Structures are given as C-alpha cells and as structure tokens.
Amino acid sequence: MWLGFLVGVIYALTGFRGEDKPPRLACTCGPFRKGMLYYRGMHIHHWMFCAPLSVISIIISAWNFAAFCAVMTLHGISYSDAFKVHNEPTTEAATLSSLPPPHEHTQEPTALGIHADGGE
C-alpha cells in the first residue's frame, strides 16, 4: 500500500504541470488528445476513472493500486475545474465552424466541372 501511495505522489508531482496545461505525457492517440482522455467529445478527468478503480481495487485487495488510484483521485479533485466536463471540438467541427456560411445562389463546380443543377 505504501508503494502505491509513494508512486502516486511522485507521479502527481512530476507528471502534471497544473491547471489548463497538458500533462508531461501529452500523447495524442486514440481517445487521448494532448494527454487528456476524451469520450464522445467530452473530457474525462483522471479522477473520474481513478475513483471507481480505487474502490474496485479495495474490493479485490489490490492495495498498492488502490492507494495509487486514491492519490490520483485526490489530486484530480484538487483542480478548480474538477467537476466541469469540457467539450472538445473535433477537427472536422473546428474546420467547419471556421468556414464562411454557404451562399444560397452560388454553386461551386465539382472536380468534373459539372454543377449541382446539371449545367456546366
């Protein structure tokens, strides 16, 4: 249990840079964007999955992992935005929102030079 507590404290002190800053392991792959976990476009804070994992770890007597998750939970809820779920725009949504609105009476030619109304 003490090992999990110690590893948790060291990781909390060295792995995170503070609020509104990405963690040191800021990978962007799969559900992670700049080191933060997203599910269906919403930011999932690290305490949100560490809290249930610590309870499960206590039930199955995995004391070191329970201590690590407990430290991560306490660390996560110490942030001022701990209970706010942030939406992150997808790349497609960000691109679409930056485009000007389409005009009703203008038609852009397709790659073949054919317009949507069938004319050329």
108 lies in some domain: no
The single-letter DSSP state of residue 28 is -
Q: Do 48 and 42 contact (CB within 8 A), yes or no?
A: no
* Within-domain flag for 93: no
pLDDT given at position 67: 97
Residue range(s) defining the domain that contains residue 44: 2-17+24-84
Please count the other Cβ atoms lying within 10 Å of the Cβ belonging to residue 12.
17
35 and 21 in contact (C-beta within 8 Å)? Answer: no
For 89, other C-beta atoms within 10 Å of its C-beta total 11
Average pLDDT estimate for 52-74: 96
15 is written with which tokens?
A: 């792995």
* Token reading at 86: 């942030």
Give the global pTM. Answer: 0.65
pLDDT one-digit tens code per residue, 1-54 = 899 999 999 989 898 887 777 888 788 888 888 888 888 888 888 899 899 999
Whether 97 is in a domain gets the answer: no
In a domain, 51, yes or no: yes
- Kindly report the average pLDDT of the chain as a whole number: 78
The structural domain count of the chain equals: 1
- Does pLDDT of 98 surpass 70? no
SS (H, E, C) 30-72: CCEECCEEEECCEEECHHHHHHHHHHHHHHCCCHHHHHHHHHH
